[in-house]
Amino acid sequence: MGYPMAGHLSKNENIDLFVYNRSPDPLGNWLNKYKGTEFILNNSGDIEFDGFIVCLKDDAAIKDVLVNKMLISKLKNKAFIIDHSTTSLELISSINSVKEMSDKSISFYDAPISGGEAGAVNGTLSVMFGGPPEKITSIKKLMKSYSSSIVHIGPSGHGQLTKMVNQLCIAGLLQGLSEGMVFGRESKLNMSKVFDAISNGAAQSWQMNNRYKSMLRDEFNFGFAVDLMIKDLKIALNESKNNQLDLKISKEVLKNYQNLSDNGNGDLDTSSLIKIIK
């Protein structure tokens, strides 16, 4: 996701863009394709930054880069961090508790994204973010490089809570879509005609419009992976306990995704949920 997002940012002539990736090969490819400067952690000298935009796999990766590798120390006073990863609320508290964050008055924005790999490539991601009001105008200008929808939900943590809502909705939707598709296929229906008939009605969804053809072809190499959805659903379900909620459908979908992963399908995209339906 970060690869094409940074590519869009590189077209902004008003910023000096430095890029960093934990594995070197994608970084080399990116530098050959786009305009920017490699940030070398162990040889960065006196470079200080106005802000960081982060997009990583999970809580541990973010802590490793920002805290263990001390990137936070490279920020100027009153700088910002935009975190486009999907994380727990505990991660936000952990980052904000780092001494440099308060000493330098650094603003942290939890800004998870939705729209998949296609949204990142096309620059049409949806950003839902939480955080302080001080730098909202300036960070929105940056995020517009790769986003078509940017909504400040509220204070710190509200971006991640909104992403939890997003993932819970998608999980239940994909379960219903998978069951409907299998039912139609087993009933010997012409599924192309079925979706022509229902895709403009109440059953319509982004997942239906963008995934039904590949699902019917048993093709599941189109973006957000099962293992990442497992991580996201666990975060959301863990948070639901704090509200004394029993989200039965989401728990069942999580079991199905875990089944897929346990059988070697963790790298398939989330529409592979249909493989579980017998």
**Helix/strand/coil for 188:** coil
Residue 179: pLDDT band with limits 50, 70, 90:
very high
Lowest mean pLDDT of 33-42, 49-58, 78-87, 192-201, name the range.
33-42
Same domain, 121 and 245: no
pLDDT tens per residue across span 209-236: 989 999 999 999 987 899 999 999 999 9
> First CA to last CA across the chain, in angstroms?
33
Q: Are residues 99 and 138 in the same domain?
A: yes
Average pLDDT, rounded, for the chain: 94
Range of the domain at 20: 2-154
Number of domains in the chain: 2
Reported as a pLDDT band with limits 50, 70 and 90, residue 46 is: confident
The fraction of the chain above a pLDDT of 70, given in percent, is 98
In a 13 Å sphere around the CA of 226, the CA atoms on its Cβ side amount to 24
Do 101 and 124 have their domain in common?
Answer: yes
CATH number, domain containing residue 143: 3.40.50.720
What token pair was written down for 49? 């930054």
> Tell me, what's the pLDDT at 43?
65
Active-site residue 69, yes or no?
Answer: no
Dihedral sign, CA of 91, 122, 202, 226?
negative
Considering the domain architecture, whether residues 176 and 230 belong to the same structural domain is answered as yes
- 163, 193, 248, 278: the catalytic one is 163
Q: Is the pLDDT of residue 96 over 70?
A: yes
Is the whole-model pTM more than 0.85? yes
How many Å apart are CA 19 and CA 174, to the nearest integer? 35
